[in-house]
Structure formats: structure tokens, C-alpha cells
Amino acid sequence: MLENNGLKLKKIKSTVLPVNITKSLKQEISERIKSDAYVVAYLDYAVLIGKFKNDEFQFYNNEQFQDRFAQRIRIFQNDRELHIWRCNDNNFKGRLRIDDETGEETVAVDAYQVMLGTNTERLGEYTKLIEERGAELILPLKNISVDDKKKRLFLKTRNYIGYNPIQQAGYVDCRFVEITDKA
């Protein structure tokens, strides 16, 4: 399909399901994500990047959080993402998006967002990405190397296109797909 500015439109099949959050966040995630996945948790006081494995959050230094501090959580694999967000005090909503052959045909664009970090520090099973300006990210990846040239890490996103009532196209959803060193 059409390619412009390095972005390529592609036709895929995708299903979007609203998620009614009635249990703890960990229980809700366990019911919908059955195998290992990445997780990005935007909290009131930090952003944690880790994995969701064996029905547990796994972050650097075994850090955990209480549901009440979660603003937004994205749990993602190559074919799906569970996106949960806080609506007010302790109420959450969410959506599950699955890209597979059973979904509705749609058009999407994959994009690669450069992650901050031009140096690394190994932390066992994790790697700290360090940016000269002071930003740091700890990722659940090991043996990563980056530089300030072409060797970078990317967050691959999939951006879904929809149409309003007068047929103007725009992005209607975005999901995280993977953390990769290949753009």
C-alpha cells in the first residue's frame, strides 16, 4: 500500500473489545493475557517497564505498586494489547485489541518511536538506558547496546485509521507492539 515519510499503510484484521474492570488489575490482566508480555505502567510517581509473566508483574528490583497509583497500564505482545486507564479515584476502564485473522478488516500504520538512551548499564536481567541529558529507562532486556548514532532501541506502535461521518481519515487507536532494535 501507499508509503510516505517511511510509514506504510497496511490492511490487517483487528478486534477491539471493551474491558470492564471489576477486579484487581493483576486479576483482570491474568484473565486476558495468557503468556509472557511486556508491561508499561504509568504510575502517579514513576513509569515502570517490565514483564507480565506467570500472572505477576516483574519489574527491576522486584518493584510492585498498588492499583490506586496506576494512571495507565499497557500490557502487550506482538498480536495484542490490553490497555487499562484510570477514570477517577479507583475506577478503571480498558480495551483489548487483538490483531489476527478473525478480526474486522482495517487499515493501520506501524511506527517506530526512538527510545531515549545512548548509553547502557547492565543490571542482571535488565538494562538501564541512559541519555546524556539525564533521562533513564530500565528495560527487561539484557545484552543491549546502543549509541548516539544508528544503534538505538525503538518502541514499535501500531496506529489504526478510522473515518468520521464525513469520511475524514484519522488515527482512532494506537497499541504498543514490541520493544526492538530494528526499525
Average pLDDT over residues 41-51: 97
The verdict on residue 94 lying in a domain is yes
Q: Which amino acid is at 77?
A: Q
Average pLDDT, whole number, for the chain?
92
Identify the pLDDT of residue 147.
85
Paired residues of 76 in beta bridges: 38, 81
Residue 148 lies in a domain: no
> Does any domain span residue 61?
yes
Consecutive H or E run containing 27: helix 25-32
In a domain, 72, yes or no: yes
Dig out the grid coordinates for 179 from the structure: 520493544
Predicted confidence (pLDDT) per residue in 4-35, tens digit:
566 788 999 999 999 999 999 999 999 999 89
- φ and ψ at 155, to 5 degrees? -100, 115
Using the predicted structure, report yes or no on whether residue 142 has a pLDDT greater than 80. yes
83-117 pLDDT, tens per residue? 999 998 779 999 999 999 999 999 999 999 999 88
Count how many residues are written for the chain. Answer: 183
Buried b (16+ CB within 10 A) or exposed e, 69-103: ebeebbbbbeebbbbbebeeeeebebebbbbeeee
pLDDT band at 3 (very low <50, low <70, confident <90, very high): low
In a domain? residue 35: yes
Mean pLDDT of the 70-89 span: 95
pLDDT score of 6: 66
CA nearest to 55, candidates 30, 80, 24: 30
pTM over 0.85: yes
Question: In terms of residue numbers, what domain contains 85?
Answer: 3-115+153-180
The strand order across the sheet containing 136-139 reads 119-123, 126-130, 136-139
The whole-number pLDDT of residue 145 equals 86
Does any domain span residue 129?
no
C-alpha cell at 60: 527491576
Burial class (CB in 10 A: 0-12, 13-18, 19+), 6: exposed
pLDDT at 59: 98
- Does residue 139 lie within any of the structural domains? no
| Structural domains in the chain (count) | 1
Position 65 in a domain: yes
For residues 126-146, average pLDDT: 90
